[in-house]
Amino acid sequence: MDIIFHHPTFNSQQWIEGLHQKLPEATVRQWLPGDNQPADYALVWHPPVEMLSGRSTLKGVFALGAGVDSILSQLQKHPEMLPKGVPLFRLEDTGMALQMQEYAVSQVLHWFRRFDDYQALKQQAKWEPLEDYRREDFTIGVLGAGVLGGKVAESLAAWGFPVRCWSRSKKDYLGITSYAGAEQLGQFLSGTRVLINLLPNTPQTVGIINSELLNKLADNSYVMNLARGVHLVEDDLLAALDSGKVKGAMLDVFAKEPLPQNSLLWKHPRIAITPHLAAVTRPEEAMTYIAKTIRQIENKESPSGQVSLDNGY
């Protein structure tokens, strides 16, 4: 069994050695330009077209992250990059769900306990106890209810908040109201006080968080974007913040990364920013998942995590 590996920033040797420990029967090598030798599996992030093109004998390609939009966008320009019939897999969890839960819960509690307001008062040297928010008035809506979105919604429901989710199809998460399809998006948004975005990046979701959507949220709402920067129309968010419709935002992803220094997002007092770290690939857990999935494929089983090229996730 031959495995090729490519990631522009990961430590290739760490992955090669780690995968060999979990799959001792496999030969793992870093792919380099000009390498056309046989391969059964490919582990990739932003792969060059020539790495995968023509490899019709591949049994699986693994994207080394929760999202596969970088590969799908390349396929739009170079449909020959992924030979027909070769399955594409994403990392379903591998520790990312827990990281997303930590991020979302900590920020929701920050807003709920009004720590943003107290920080603003601190800047003015004001000692002023504020009225508490009530949980029943702090409805949380999660856009995107896949593996990560579902886990985030469940973790927030455990804190007693009213939680709802919206996705392409209805979900059945305990204690969480599910909305689905374009016809129910307005119902989902009405009364939502905290909007958390965990949608996949597809042509249908680009620019979905715009002025029209933001205006349907509850007044003094909050926005957290943990998915992709292209989901958010940044100028529309700035306008909603300045009008008072949106009270605060927590942004981890951006249309351009790193975020340019001249971006107005840096300067807005009610926007908090982190550098795309809400959930990162943890090598040990990712390699365990990949090894398990490869063994399932070799045993003619049907592993989870395969991406629908039509749906984009």
- Segment 244-301, tens digit of pLDDT: 999 999 999 999 999 999 999 999 999 999 999 999 999 999 999 999 999 999 999 9
CB atoms within 10 A of CB 7: 18
The answer to whether residues 26 and 105 belong to one domain is no
Total number of domains in the chain? 2
250 phi and psi angles, rounded to 5 deg: -125, 115
Residue 191, classed as helix, strand or coil, is coil
Amino acid at 157: A
196 phi and psi angles, rounded to 5 deg: -115, 120
The answer to whether residues 189 and 204 belong to one domain is yes
Least confidently predicted of 87-96, 175-184, 261-270:
87-96
The answer to whether residues 173 and 258 belong to one domain is yes
Position 92 pLDDT exceeds 90: no
Smallest Cα–Cα separation from 63: which of 5, 21, 148? 5
Mark out the alpha helices in 124-275 (DSSP H runs): 147-157, 185-189, 211-214, 234-243, 264-267
**26: CB partners within 8 A, 6+ apart:** 1, 2, 3, 19, 20, 294
pLDDT the model gives residue 67 = 80
The answer to whether residues 198 and 286 belong to one domain is no
Mean per-residue pLDDT for 217-244? 98
pLDDT the model gives residue 80 = 93
pLDDT the model gives residue 313 = 86
The answer to whether residues 258 and 290 belong to one domain is no
The answer to whether residues 197 and 241 belong to one domain is yes
Long-range contacts of 80-85 (CB under 8 A, 24+ apart): 80/49, 80/53, 80/54, 81/47, 81/49, 81/52, 81/53, 82/52, 83/52, 83/53, 83/54, 83/55, 83/56, 83/58, 84/56, 85/56
For all residues of the chain together, what is the average pLDDT? 96
Q: Which residue has the higher pLDDT, 122 or 68?
A: 122
Range of the domain at 203: 96-273
Task: Note whether 303 and 89 are within 8 A (CB).
Answer: yes
The answer to whether residues 224 and 290 belong to one domain is no
The answer to whether residues 78 and 149 belong to one domain is no
pLDDT the model gives residue 173 = 95
Whole-angstrom Cα distance, residue 188 to residue 180? 9
Catalytic positions are 228, 276
Mean per-residue pLDDT for 40-66? 95
What tokens appear for 152 in the block?
């985030």
The answer to whether residues 74 and 104 belong to one domain is no
Beta strands, E only, the chain: 2-6, 27-30, 41-44, 60-63, 88-90, 140-143, 163-167, 177-180, 194-197, 221-225, 246-251, 271-273
Mean per-residue pLDDT for 147-164? 97
The answer to whether residues 165 and 71 belong to one domain is no
49 phi and psi angles, rounded to 5 deg: -55, -40
CATH number, residue 163: 3.40.50.720
CB atoms within 10 A of CB 262: 7
Whole-angstrom Cα distance, residue 157 to residue 144? 16
- Do β-strands 41-44 and 60-63 pair in parallel, antiparallel, or remain unpaired? parallel
pLDDT the model gives residue 243 = 98
The answer to whether residues 162 and 300 belong to one domain is no
The answer to whether residues 87 and 101 belong to one domain is no
